[in-house]
Structure 1
């Protein structure tokens, strides 16, 4: 593919790639960066590409988005959480979290630790497994069992259908 062909095709694809990336990352600035990275990678191999390159561009964009989502911690800073306001229902959410944390304190130590490291500290599974001296599959299983135990106990105690 010639540089001119690549530029024309990239110009036509750019907006659709950005909208596809937005579905994964939900942030315009990150989506733009991911599409830019995708186009740079495709440019590096433009001599070997054939037209149309839309399918390859979508796959590269999707994979870059998934990499970003996996690397990004899924926790929020407690200081940035909104203050409890009795009028809008956040009090009920905070009460539910307090109930769950009470249940977490009753779990076996390994499950407690895995759950706290994953959801409160935002650690990845490899780090948790290494820290606790177990393989990653065992850490995932402990996390799964801890989540199920918390859910089951919450439903049993408070008779709600789901968390």
Structure 2
């Protein structure tokens, strides 16, 4: 596969690699570095890439592993998760402030989740991966993924209820 074919092959999922890296590493610069590292690793395996059933799943697995390694290293010890993809266009200022505040709380709660649940929330609820794809990337069965996702969502829902007094009479 030549360079142009390689770029065209990875183009559809390159942004997903970056978003997963950003979710795990927080820093845009760290996520860009991680994305570059993943692409270099893929390029170095250029001659065998066609053997993979899902190149995207393979790239996401490499991304996950690279980012978790970075999180374990000393240079990544000060990173935190930030997610700024939500904004309602027609909302008034007060609504935007409240939405922003809610997202900051959700970001904190996601950050507090165990690594596996954090990855599953990112891949399922943010990146919209199917359960089968997540199972392949994380090397887990789909039932375990559904259970972990349910627990993660329940934790976030409980924290939201306790923090914002939603639904408490």
Q: TM-score per shorter chain, which class?
A: 0.3 to 0.5
Task: Flag the structure with more relative contact order, 1 or 2, with Cα contacts below 8 A and sequence separation at least 6.
Answer: 2
TM-score (norm 1): 0.45
Structure 1 or 2: more helix by fraction? 2
Q: Which has the larger radius of gyration?
A: 1
